[in-house]
């Protein structure tokens, strides 16, 4: 696809950056950084309420691009924060607008923005109608499928640098509830985890658990 090739070329020519954990990746009105494509590490899109509570709207993996929404929004209401050490390539706001103005690349940018929106909608529907076990299983499978589709993993083991508190902020659960649910999944022989590493022991049973929870709450098909 021509748009995808031109888009990738633009980032390949961009400046390489690296940041530490808990660093804000993009700042408003920063013309030097229009968008960033993550090449290593995890990040998340979040909103912090006035009372200090946080909602994590989306988890971002290597290959994801952040900042494209600023092409159509003056000042997005969310922050993009590094979950661990993150590296990537950035292009300027001007370069982003040039890509957006090109018909082929503009369509590709819209496709990426739609993919991110579908991912967030899927999480919203899961929180609305699924219990804690189904939410956590859906979350782990989503990370697994995205990493596998991008050929970043070959087996059933992957790094997950989010804390239990951050996972809870993403799934609408308390840290205690996340801990208890992970223990249940371990006891059921579905998942092993610790020290930022997750092992999926029975992917088919995890999918069956998620599908059962979605019978009354269809979610969008998983996009890579």
CA dihedral 61, 215, 189, 161 (to 10 degrees): 20
> First CA to last CA across the chain, in angstroms?
16
Mean pLDDT by 10 residues, the chain (224 residues): 89 93 76 83 93 94 90 74 96 90 92 91 92 96 96 96 96 96 96 92 94 48 34
- Number of C-alpha atoms within 13 angstroms, CB side, residue 184? 15
Structural domains of the chain, ranges and CATH numbers in brackets = 2-122 (2.60.120.10), 131-213 (1.10.10.10)
Task: Tell me how long the chain is.
Answer: 224
Strands (E), the chain: 15-19, 35-40, 43-48, 54-60, 65-66, 79-82, 86-91, 157-159, 191-194, 197-200
Which DSSP state fits 85? -
Which pLDDT does position 218 carry in this prediction? 34
Give the per-residue pLDDT at 108. Answer: 92
**CB-neighbour burial class of residue 84 (10 A; exposed 0-12, middle 13-18, buried 19+):** middle
pLDDT value for 74: 61
What is residue 195's predicted lDDT score, i.e. its pLDDT? 86
Are 185 and 136 within 8 A, CB to CB?
yes
Residue 17 has a pLDDT of 93
pLDDT attached to residue 32: 59
């Amino acid at each position: 696809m021509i748009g995808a090739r031109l888009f990738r070329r633009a980032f390949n020519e961009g400046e390489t950056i690296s940041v530490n954990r808990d660093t804000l990746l993009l700042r408003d009105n920063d013309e030097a950084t229009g968008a960033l494509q993550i090449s290593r590490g995890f990040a998340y899109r979040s909103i912090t309420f006035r009372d200090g509570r946080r909602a994590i709207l989306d988890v971002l993996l290597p290959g994801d691009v952040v900042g494209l929404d600023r092409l159509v929004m003056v000042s997005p209401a969310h922050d993009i924060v590094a979950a661990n050490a993150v590296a990537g390539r950035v292009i300027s706001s001007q370069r982003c607008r040039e890509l957006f103005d090109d018909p082929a690349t503009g369509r590709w940018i819209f496709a990426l923005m739609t993919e991110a929106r579908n991912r967030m909608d899927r999480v919203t529907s899961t929180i609305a109608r699924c219990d804690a076990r189904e939410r956590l299983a859906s979350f782990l499978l989503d990370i697994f499928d995205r990493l596998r589709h991008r050929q970043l993993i070959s087996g059933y083991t992957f790094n997950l640098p989010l804390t239990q508190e951050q996972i809870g902020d993403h799934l609408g659960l308390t840290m205690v509830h996340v801990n208890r649910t992970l223990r249940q999944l371990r006891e059921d022989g579905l998942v092993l985890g610790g020290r930022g590493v997750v092992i999926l022991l029975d992917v088919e049973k995890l999918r069956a658990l998620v599908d059962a929870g979605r019978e009354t709450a269809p979610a969008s098909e998983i996009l890579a």
